[in-house]
Amino acid sequence: MSASVRFKDSINAGRPALGCWLEMFSPIAAEIVAQAGYDCVLIDMEHGPGWHLDAVALLHASQGRGCAPLMRVPANDPVVIKRALDLGIAGIMIPAVNTVEQARDAVASCRYAPRGRRGMAASIVRASDYGARWRDYVAEADESLLVMAQIESAEAVGNAAAIAAVEGIDMLFIGPFDLSASMAHLGAPDHGDVRAAIGEIEAAARQAGVLLGGIPTPERSAARLREAGYALILADADVALLRDAARASLDAMRA
């Protein structure tokens, strides 16, 4: 889809994107978030309660406001990835990419043959306007999709340079909370050991010439991530925005 080309081209051109996680699977919440002016939303199929048909309503809400839709799939699985791409998303996040082999598998799942092994149903899927422009879609799909490998374990840190060098991986997206847990510092993403590991990932991405994405931590704000050259920053989540606003309002009224 043309929207996906615009989004990937935009961040490749050096314009950082600010995004919001969609965890509630509420089309109304998605529309409010998109209307607020975020560059993108990320539909979380890994931890959110929804599934593919639920995600379609979120795509309608976000794309209707000119907000690029990204999606995190629940696993590095070709069937799951295929179904996500057929919905027509601008970018896909693959969780827990720990090895070069897993990175190559992820890329292959995102590409049509002969470059990959994505199932071919472009004549009917939403991504190609239900087949109305399937030839154009197939011609551009491989290059227009932003492929994000999530680096979130100690094993992945050691392989970050090799993962970043895999052709077709566009971004290393750092998951600081899972990473800290894998390093025996659960709930402490700013621990010195974790920060050092994140530094290794950042260096690997820069050396390979791929993009960086991440989540702010208590001691490293979105502004600091931007200063560090992150192309995609997912600082907010619909659940957290509603939770925090509700608590703040209630506390103010009780006071």
What are the pLDDT digits (tens) for 140-163?
Answer: 999 999 999 999 999 999 999 999
Residue 60 is among the residues annotated as catalytic for this protein = no
Tell me the C-alpha distance between 112 and 65, whole Å: 29
Per-residue model confidence (pLDDT) at position 2 = 47
> Hey, CA dihedral for 47, 53, 55, 61, is it positive or negative?
negative
C-beta of residue 65 within 8 angstroms of C-beta of residue 85: no
Per-residue model confidence (pLDDT) at position 5 = 54
Provide CB contacts within 8 A for 47, sequence distance 6+. Answer: 23
C-beta of residue 156 within 8 angstroms of C-beta of residue 163: yes
Q: What pTM did the predictor assign?
A: 0.96
Per-residue model confidence (pLDDT) at position 1 = 43
Instruction: Report, as ranges of residue numbers, the positions in the chain whose pLDDT lies below 70.
Output: 1-5
C-beta of residue 148 within 8 angstroms of C-beta of residue 19: no
Per-residue model confidence (pLDDT) at position 108 = 98
Tell me the C-alpha distance between 223 and 233, whole Å: 9
DSSP 8-state code for residue 127:
G
Q: Alpha helix (H) ranges present in the chain? A: 2-12, 27-36, 52-63, 78-86, 100-110, 134-144, 154-158, 160-164, 176-182, 192-208, 222-227, 238-254
CATH topology of domain 2-254: TIM Barrel (3.20.20)
Q: Which of 47, 60, 185, 191 is catalytic?
A: 47
Amino acid at 41: V
Per-residue model confidence (pLDDT) at position 156 = 98
With both helix axes pointing from N to C terminus, report the angle between 100-110 and 78-86 in degrees, rounded to the nearest 10: 40
